[in-house]
Amino acid sequence: MFVPAKRTIASWPRCHSWQVFINRRVTCQYFFCSNSFQLLHLITVNFSCPSKNTARLLALKMKILLSQLLQGSLLALCVAMPSQRMQASSQPTDDLAVDDVQDQDNMPRPAKFPGFNNMIQTSDPPTDSTVPADAAFNATCRHVTLNGYGRVGETTLEADCKDRHGVWWHTAINLNNCIGNSHGSLVYSPGGNFDKTCRPCFIDGTQPGKDVLLKCNCLEKPGAVPMYTSLQIGTMVDDVLAVKPVGAQFTCGSYNGTKSPFL
């Protein structure tokens, strides 16, 4: 069963995407690209892979060479547990079916790929002795998500964070007010408007409870090949302009994001 969740990524190349559950441990993301381009870079992506008792982080290093991609080509990227083989398909088929439909509510959420709604998450419930895999920023926030769906000027970091009284709030901040592109590198810069020249982007949590990385492909100059770059976000960054949660509210320098009661 092919499950389309069509979203347009407003970047180069212009892409549509579909998410497909193969089984409990494998999720595919399909990109349909409509123009030709050249891109060579190394991406490191961390996925939360559920096991019976714990949530494991699988670091998948992919070297992607897309040279003069023909119009109408379809890319398939899959993530699996270490014991499983990488699965990929050039065409969507009915063989890509949900395994154990009756247990679908307990299945892991789709793996998130560049350009939209990237969340640090796990399907395993937290215990008193472990830090939830979807926690970040000294375990004060959870459900950290990058939204904006690739639209220029709308790349927004969102999360549910707790204040010093233990009360949970929902907070969001438009990262264009905090981050810029300096010669192909992400830097903290008030009103930097980085996503004009940096996209697609996604967030990567390497260790539960710690800071996260914003990862993008950025142009050094107009017409140049996009370069892979990253920027640490969180309380451990020694920069007054850094994006971090303060009192359950995302801030960067003197700029404050939104804060609303957690529902």
Average pLDDT over residues 48-73: 34
Per-position DSSP letters for 101-144, written without gaps between them: GGGGGGSPPPPP-TTS-EE---SSPP-TTS--TTEETTTTEEEE
Cα 192 from Cα 203, distance rounded (Å): 18
Output b/e per residue, 147-166; b: 16+ Cβ within 10 A: bbbbbeeebbbbbbbbeeee
pLDDT at 136: 83
CB 81 within 8 A of CB 49: yes
pLDDT at 56 over 70: no
Q: Which fold has domain 137-261?
A: HIV-inactivating Protein, Cyanovirin-n (2.30.60)
Cα 181 from Cα 214, distance rounded (Å): 12
pLDDT at 30 over 80: no
Residue 231: which of 208, 198, 254 has the closest Cα? 198
pLDDT at 102: 34
- Alpha-carbon distance values, 234 to 126, 139, 249 (Å): 22, 11, 12
Using DSSP's 3-state secondary structure scheme, residue 175 falls into: helix
Higher pLDDT, 6 or 140: 140
The arrangement of strands across the sheet holding 212-218 comes to: 198-204, 212-218, 227-233
Q: Tell me, rounded to whole angstroms, the distance of Cα 196 from its chain centroid.
A: 18
pLDDT at 153 over 90: yes
pLDDT at 223: 85
Higher pLDDT, 131 or 254: 254
Residue 202: which of 40, 52, 11 has the closest Cα? 11
Q: Provide the mean pLDDT of the chain.
A: 64
Cα 228 from Cα 186, distance rounded (Å): 10
Residue 10: which of 214, 155, 146 has the closest Cα? 155
pLDDT at 43 over 70: no
For the chain, counts of helices (H) and of strands (E): 0, 20
pLDDT digits (tens, 9 = 90+) for 92-148: 333 333 233 333 344 334 333 333 344 444 334 344 444 566 678 888 899 899 998
pLDDT at 179: 97
Using DSSP's 3-state secondary structure scheme, residue 195 falls into: helix
pLDDT at 37 over 80: no
pLDDT at 216: 94
pLDDT > 90 fraction of the chain, expressed in percent and rounded: 35
CB 83 within 8 A of CB 73: no
Name residue, tokens 């709604």. Answer: 117
pLDDT digits (tens, 9 = 90+) for 168-226: 999 999 999 999 999 999 999 999 999 999 989 998 875 666 889 999 999 998 888 89
CB 27 within 8 A of CB 17: no
Question: Could you tell me the pTM of the whole model?
Answer: 0.53
Ranges in the chain annotated CATH 2.30.60.10? 137-261
- In a 13 Å sphere around the CA of 89, the CA atoms on its Cβ side amount to 15
pLDDT at 157 over 60: yes
Average pLDDT over residues 80-93: 34
pLDDT at 128: 40
Higher pLDDT, 63 or 156: 156
Per-position DSSP letters for 13-26, written without gaps between them: S-EEEEEEEEETTE
